[in-house]
Amino acid sequence: MEKLVGTGVALVTPFKEDFTVDTMALTTIVKHCIDGGVDYLVVLGTTAETATLTEAEKQLVIDTIISANAGTLPLVLGIGGNNTSNVIETIKRRNLDDFIAILSVSPYYNKPTQEGIYQHFKAIAENSPLPVIIYNVPSRTGSNILPSTVLRLANDFGNIIGIKEASGDMAQVMHILKDKPKNFMVISGDDMTALSTVMAGGMGVISVLGQGVPFAFSKMIRLGLQDQVKAAFKLQYALQEGMGLIFEEGNPAGIKAVFEALGIAKSGVRLPLVPASDQLRDKIEKFVKPFAGQHAQ
Residues identified as active-site: 135, 164
Distance between CA 29 and CA 59 in Å, rounded?
17
CA-based nearest residue to 163, from 69, 175, 30, 274: 175
Inter-residue contact 27 to 64 (CB < 8 Å): yes
Q: Any idea of the CA torsion for 65, 191, 186, 27, to the nearest 10 degrees?
A: 10
Distance between CA 69 and CA 52 in Å, rounded?
24
CA-based nearest residue to 11, from 225, 287, 280, 209: 209
Distance between CA 118 and CA 278 in Å, rounded?
43
**Alpha-carbon Rg for the chain in angstroms:** 18
Inter-residue contact 44 to 105 (CB < 8 Å): no
> Count of H helices and E strands in the chain?
12, 8
